[in-house]
Amino acid sequence: MGLVFSSIFWALAHPCPLRNPKDWQGGKTEAAASYSQAVRDAPIRTPKPAQVYDDVCVRSWYTLEQPRRWMYPASGHSLNREYAKIGGLEGLRMLCGSCPACTTSEPAGCTGDFIGEQPDEFDEIVDSLGLRAELGRHFPATTPLWYGLWIEPVIPPAGISVVRQLLGALETRNQRRAEGYSSFLRVLEVAEQNQMTLHVQRTPGGTLGGPGPHCPRCTALQDIGEEIVCTVCGHVCSTKLSKWRFPRRQRRRDDLFTQLGERRFAEITRLSLISQGALDTELDFLVAAILERERTRPVWEAEQERADKAATERQKRQDRYKRVVLYKGIPRKGDQFRASAFRRLLERYVVLGVEVTDVSHCAEEFVNYRVAYRGEDPFEMLDKWLAEGLCEWFRASVSVPDALLYPQPGTGFAAEE
């Protein structure tokens, strides 16, 4: 699974008919923000399809092979329907355009997020500007200091000025890695000028399967183990560390074919195909093929569900095979190994005929993360990384042959304990 970087979510508190007073992010505000982000991103997404067509904001895509690969809208929402009570898309623009909490030219500029953490550089800037004591007056003490900014759900009004100064210096120092700070600096300025409450929330890193084990106070990633003290903020973490999960904002996946109706869906699909370079002579054929695919979706999705279920069962069997057979007698931490143990594991893979699809070096500092994919010799990569001084933890993804997972009865690995 791919790595997921931690994000900082923010929102300015301001009375708004789109928000639930008990939810500062607000469902409808978030939907408007996704439209706003899509509009801003549209110029840089070519040759991919755009994400906004008329009043429809597309969230996800399906693919069609006819004969090349085409993408067409899967889920999303119509802003005219979503915001009918305030006059649809135009009403939304008027509402947000006159709102003092809107920090962009598009709707819902009162909420957003950014990625771009640089804890070490942030500490250097704090010390170079002599602001460690000032920062400590407004934020909890952490090591690095970066994590302390996001522990409390609200940035203290008196602390906004020092955060602006530090993030401004950080952006100036490294433009390429601090691109996400520009919009947040505008938010800090608006919050300070208009005396608005600024809510913040930091998500822990992890994989596409979910956040990794982390401190519930500062959300810094932590090792799984017995009761420990967080090395970043000093919070005493319980033995349930590995089971913590950070609440993510809910993403609705509205099916556009059902939501818009066949006629309107066909119009939006045609626009998406044109944006991908479809010719006039093939548009009718492609749209008809897509409509037929959507009409018969319940049938082929049921078949896909059966296939997915079989794949899931196979994955469970493979995971158990790794625990019972492949990892037997080799010291490990989860699915990570020290160098000598990892070499033994790779040798075992060769003997059993298990294919290695990728190997990686895992480290607390992302800068020391390495990965090599199928086609590269895992032994060579291990030796190379060790020569570079990378000697923390190693892991490998594998594909176990069916002959090992499903042997003849009485000849090998059994499905049950």
The one-digit pLDDT tens for each residue of the chain (417 residues) are 445 678 888 888 888 887 766 665 544 555 555 555 555 444 434 345 768 888 888 888 999 988 889 999 998 888 888 888 888 888 888 988 899 988 888 788 888 888 878 888 899 999 999 999 999 999 999 999 999 999 998 999 999 999 999 999 988 877 655 556 888 999 999 999 999 999 888 988 776 556 777 888 998 887 655 567 888 999 888 655 444 443 444 444 578 999 999 999 999 999 999 989 999 999 999 999 999 999 998 898 899 899 999 999 999 999 999 999 999 999 999 899 999 999 999 999 999 999 999 999 988 766 788 999 988 999 999 999 999 999 999 999 999 999 999 987 777 777 554
| Angle in degrees, CA 36, 39, 42, rounded to 5 | 145
Between CA 259 and CA 265 the distance in angstroms is 9
pLDDT at 32: 57
Contacts of 54 by beta carbon, 8 Å cutoff, 6+ apart: 268, 271
* CA–CA separation, 344 and 342 (whole Å): 5
Residue 32, token pair as written in the block: 């408007």
The one-letter amino acid at 387: A
* Predicted pLDDT of residue 112: 83
Element (H, E) at 316: helix 297-321
pLDDT of residue 33: 58
Residue 48: how many other CB atoms lie within 10 Å: 13
Query: Residue 338 carries which DSSP code?
Result: -
Q: For tokens 């530090």, name the residue.
A: 166
Residue type for position 253: R
Do β-strands 236-237 and 228-229 pair in parallel, antiparallel, or remain unpaired?
Answer: antiparallel
d(CA 174, CA 182): 12
131 within 8 A of 145, measured Cβ to Cβ: no
Task: Report the C-alpha gap between 202 and 117 in whole angstroms.
Answer: 11
Cβ–Cβ < 8 Å for 259, 277 = no
Pairing mode, strands 210-211 and 69-78 = unpaired
| Spatial contact of 129 and 150, defined as CB atoms under 8 Å apart | no
Residue 71 DSSP one-character state: E
Burial of 197 (0-12, 13-18, 19+ CB in 10 A): middle
CATH 2.30.30: does it fit domain 304-405? no
For position 250, what pLDDT does the model report? 40
pTM over 0.95: no
CA-wise closest residue to 215 among 183, 175, 242, 180 = 242
Q: Which residues contact 144 (CB under 8 A, 6 or more apart)?
A: 119, 120, 122, 123, 232
Residue 35, both tokens:
């439209």
